[in-house]
Structure 1
Amino acid sequence: MQARHPGYRAYCPPRGGLTDCPIIVGFSIDRTRMIIATEFNMKDFSPDQTIILAKIRHIEELERLSACTVFVETIGLIIHQIQAERGASCLYLASAGQRFGRERSDIIEQNQGLELRFREALQRHLEHDSMVDAKQLTLISWILLGFDQLKALRHQVTLHKISFPDCIQSFNRFVGCLISLIFDITDNAVNSKISTYLLALYNLVQGKEFAGQERAVGSYMFGSGQVQQEHQQKLLELIALQDRHFELFCQFGGHQLQKAWAASMDTSIHQRHRQFRGKLTHAHDGQAVKTHDGDEWFELCSQRLTDIWHLQCQLIKGMHDMLETLAKEAKNDLEKTRQYLQKVRRQPAQSATLDSAFFNLSIPVENAYTFLAHDSQHAYPMESIVSLLQQQSQQIAEIENELAETKQALAERKQIERAKGLLMSKRGISEVEAYKILRSTAMEQNRKIIDVADNILAKQNSLS
């Protein structure tokens, strides 16, 4: 029987993995429609009816986000398991099929159900969001095509009909498409807190992907017995890309995840991993390395990926917990609003004056109906529909203000990526080299990187 590689347990994804999380809001779209049909007079809408409808829509949106979160969680698990298969496949090819054959077979068997999981989560996602746009559906089409052709790729690896670099790039392409879907979902999220969680998750998953590629490239270098400048440069690029995405993960992940990240990086395993990195990155072109060090390198990288995976699970749990809290608050708010309106209706009819009406100019409603932060110096009338509408407008304004920060970060990321791609195309340079140009230019001109990126794209647009 073939011996198990010492790093097998470290890199092999946990069985199950995905938390069994049902849709937590418990407020179905069909029930929403029933409430609208039974409670509301469609021909004679009133302000109190539409404010109730607004709060129901908010609960409905949380239900959509809950299904969306389960979908993203499934995508993250699939990425994790495909990364494990890529690592085993690369070592299998590097050893000409002499090593890691059994481990690779075990992982492929475990991964057989990935497509079904993806399709099931996709169905739930589409059922709860009928407005998924063409861009997201096109990304999903590419992923389904990748699943369709994954069997053929595995067969090529088994028969050694594909080179080591092409094997890496093939798996990288599939994982990259899955990560792009996470980014697109993040870009379309409309809840500020969940959007921030998703942005942290995107950067963690992207950084983890570059860490997985680092494992594969380093394993090949150790397996070949010598350092080649081409692979060494690729390793340096992957390290720089990881640093950038993990920094953004810490920025958006919050204090708890920042502490967890710092703790996970300050262990003997990660210190040893950095020492092995140094052996590869500081070696001369053509310098010999010990082949048997490849086993320890793979095990160290695998443990690092497992640690990042645990952080990913922690982040996902935080997102589920946040959604559960938001859903509970939204349902409580809906019930309180119903009670409040009943109390207002029971009050004696007010005289036909402007004392508490929309046209009383002493009541500052402009900031409310334009969804701006309210002026705290002005007291709002209590126990009136005006007070309720002002409170609702303020809640929406706060959500939009928080969401704007995340949306700005996403928009800046897309602009920087476009500028980086333009530099890569025009100068024939790598991704890391393009980013270095953006960063060094920003430092020289004492400007932000996004400003430099905007300037590059503006110049290109003026020439076209």
Structure 2
Amino acid sequence: MTLPPAPHPPARLRAQDFILASKQSEIAGLHQLLHTGELVTAVSALVHCLQRERGLSNILLSNRASPSARQLPQAIQDTETALAALHLPLARLDRAHPQAGNLSRLFNRVAGALYALEALPAQREANRAPTASRTASMNCYSDIIARLLGVVFEAADGCGDPAISRALIAMFSVMQGKELAGQERAIGAAGFAAGEMDAAAQQQQLDLIDGQERCIQTFLTFADPASQAAWQAGPGQGNPAFERLRRILCAGRLPPGDDQVQAWFDITTARIDAMKSVEDQLAAALNACCRAALAGAQQALESQQLSLAPPDAGYTVLLAATPGGEAARYSAGELGAPLGRAILDVIQQQAQHLQQLSAELATLRASLSERQQIERAKALLMQHRGLSEPEAHKALRSLAMAQNKKLIEIAHALLAVETVLAAKEDVAR
């Protein structure tokens, strides 16, 4: 009887195999982050075009005879060009084998944004009808933009590199502030075109102004010095003509005539374009940061490969665990002292590198988590007390000041009360 061949013994796994695998995994994640940065840049361009198209659509639906509405066809064409450009960075994202951690939430955000964009052609067609709803149009555009901004936020929330995460948070904040500025442009343009600004619209504009200020404060907290300086030199300077028209809208006393519509639209567009310039600078800094991190990781990998190369094919290194901290956790066996020391050095370097990344990321994610908790608390107040978003924010801030506590502590308390009430309702059922 012929016996089957003996199975080959499994290859011996070495410490350096996993050291290199650790760095290769980091590099794969940075490649994915680079593609994510390119996606964020494309989303930024598309959002900017959609904001302009929304403002011009609002003018059209408020006064179809307005000369400003003639710019709408070109704005629609610009949006379509930006939408086509979005598909390349989307295709570069590795959907089959994501290497940058759990990207399911980012992919879900992308799916939601693409689904919302499918409603755009129908809304454009609806806007052609004489009875088209300005509110429906505004809501459609704003929903699409909000979903696209959600992609940027998820990219920042899921980022595994602190420097890139800071750049993403800064970019998201200025994009969100610019979106609120775009909504203010659209509402103001509609008010001047219609010759009136009701109380609800006036309050909405005040809310948008307050929201812009908060977004810019977050941007200034996380932005690099060059971007902060660009803000102060550009949209941060202020414009007396813009402030005058803004006060007219807030007061509700609107002078008639198309001149005011065009003046408001031109001034607010110049302001938003200046914000877009800062946004572009942030995008360039983000992509440069991604490339620098990737180049540094690749260089470190090459250095580690040289350090861990054995002097001959039959050379084996044994590592044994010993009590103590991270620096003393491994010791080289007797047979491989030179290479063993090299392995220990690389393990320690990689461990320190990962520990530093984890500490910085923990700080950044704590900031994002606090922001999410505060937003949830505001939504709770808006739901149960009928407040607007800025009113809910002011209520939280007033409670914090009255009780001498941080805003996040008040938010946690409100959310805890909501949890208790929800649990009691479940028991009652």
TM-score range, shorter chain: 0.7 to 0.9
In the TM superposition, what is the alpha-carbon distance from 1:122 to its structure 2 partner? 1.7
1:69 corresponds to which residue? 37
What are the within-5 Å matches in structure 2 for residues 280-295 of structure 1?
A: 280-281=249-250, 283=251, 287-291=253-257, 292-295=259-262
Report if aligned partners of 1:63, 1:128 keep a CA contact under 8 Å in 2: no
Which residues of structure 1 form unaligned runs of 5+? Answer: 1-40, 370-380
> Identity of paired residues, percent?
27
Alignment match of 1:326 (pick from 276, 287, 293): 293
CA distance in 1 between counterparts of 2:33 and 2:96 reads 9
1:91 corresponds to which residue? 59
Counterpart amino acid of residue 275 in structure 1: R
CA distance in 2 between counterparts of 1:82 and 1:351 reads 60
CA distance in 2 between counterparts of 1:100 and 1:288 reads 18
Count of aligned residue pairs for this structure pair: 402
State the superposition RMSD in angstroms. 2.6
In the TM superposition, what is the alpha-carbon distance from 1:227 to its structure 2 partner? 3.5
CA distance in 1 between counterparts of 2:328 and 2:290 reads 28
Change (3 A) 1:312 1:367: farther
Change (3 A) 1:207 1:266: closer
Report if aligned partners of 2:113, 2:148 keep a CA contact under 8 Å in 1: yes
CA distance in 1 between counterparts of 2:176 and 2:346 reads 43
In the TM superposition, what is the alpha-carbon distance from 1:303 to its structure 2 partner? 0.3
2:355 is the alignment partner of 1:394: no
CA distance in 1 between counterparts of 2:350 and 2:102 reads 27
In the TM superposition, what is the alpha-carbon distance from 1:58 to its structure 2 partner? 1.3
Alignment match of 2:389 (pick from 431, 434, 456): 431
What are the within-5 Å matches in structure 2 for residues 88-127 of structure 1?
A: 88-127=56-95
In the TM superposition, what is the alpha-carbon distance from 1:435 to its structure 2 partner? 0.7
In the TM superposition, what is the alpha-carbon distance from 1:279 to its structure 2 partner? 2.4
Report if aligned partners of 2:202, 2:249 keep a CA contact under 8 Å in 1: yes
2:218 corresponds to which residue? 248
Alignment match of 1:79 (pick from 43, 47, 52): 47
Report if aligned partners of 1:340, 1:383 keep a CA contact under 8 Å in 2: no
SS of aligned partner of 2:11: coil
2:114 corresponds to which residue? 144
Alignment match of 2:276 (pick from 309, 313, 323): 309
Alignment match of 1:461 (pick from 414, 419, 423): 419
Alignment match of 1:198 (pick from 168, 190, 196): 168
In the TM superposition, what is the alpha-carbon distance from 1:294 to its structure 2 partner? 2.3
| Higher alpha-carbon deviation: 126-135 or 408-417 | 126-135
What are the within-5 Å matches in structure 2 for residues 317-356 of structure 1?
A: 317-342=284-309, 345=311
CA distance in 1 between counterparts of 2:113 and 2:326 reads 49
Counterpart amino acid of residue 453 in structure 1: A
In the TM superposition, what is the alpha-carbon distance from 1:359 to its structure 2 partner? 4.2
Deviations 1:309-354 (A, max 9, x none): 1111100100111122112211111111112123x757xx9999xx
CA distance in 2 between counterparts of 1:225 and 1:51 reads 69
In the TM superposition, what is the alpha-carbon distance from 1:436 to its structure 2 partner? 0.7
Alignment match of 2:208 (pick from 238, 262, 274): 238
CA distance in 2 between counterparts of 1:351 and 1:190 reads 32
Report if aligned partners of 2:59, 2:66 keep a CA contact under 8 Å in 1: no
SS of aligned partner of 1:461: helix
What are the within-5 Å matches in structure 2 for residues 19-34 of structure 1?
A: none
Change (3 A) 1:212 1:455: same
Counterpart amino acid of residue 141 in structure 1: A
CA distance in 2 between counterparts of 1:339 and 1:351 reads 16
In the TM superposition, what is the alpha-carbon distance from 1:132 to its structure 2 partner? 5.8
Deviations 1:91-129 (A, max 9, x none): 111212443343101111232244433333222113485
Alignment match of 2:154 (pick from 172, 176, 184): 184
In the TM superposition, what is the alpha-carbon distance from 1:228 to its structure 2 partner? 2.1
TM-score by length of 1: 0.80
Counterpart amino acid of residue 311 in structure 1: V
1:228 corresponds to which residue? 198
Counterpart amino acid of residue 206 in structure 1: Q
Report if aligned partners of 2:39, 2:89 keep a CA contact under 8 Å in 1: yes
Which residues of structure 2 form unaligned runs of 5+? Answer: 1-8, 331-338, 423-429
CA distance in 2 between counterparts of 1:265 and 1:442 reads 31
Counterpart amino acid of residue 62 in structure 1: L
1:168 corresponds to which residue? 138
Deviations 1:349-404 (A, max 9, x none): 9999xxxx64455x6426989xxxxxxxxxxx994322221111000000111111
Report if aligned partners of 1:52, 1:338 keep a CA contact under 8 Å in 2: yes
1:299 corresponds to which residue? 266
CA distance in 1 between counterparts of 2:96 and 2:41 reads 16
CA distance in 2 between counterparts of 1:193 and 1:81 reads 28
Deviations 1:225-270 (A, max 9, x none): 2342211111100000000011101100122211111111354x62
Deviations 1:185-234 (A, max 9, x none): 22111111111111111111111000000111111222222342211111
SS of aligned partner of 2:227: helix
2:326 is the alignment partner of 1:365: yes
Change (3 A) 1:234 1:368: farther
CA distance in 2 between counterparts of 1:170 and 1:164 reads 10
Report if aligned partners of 1:92, 1:99 keep a CA contact under 8 Å in 2: no
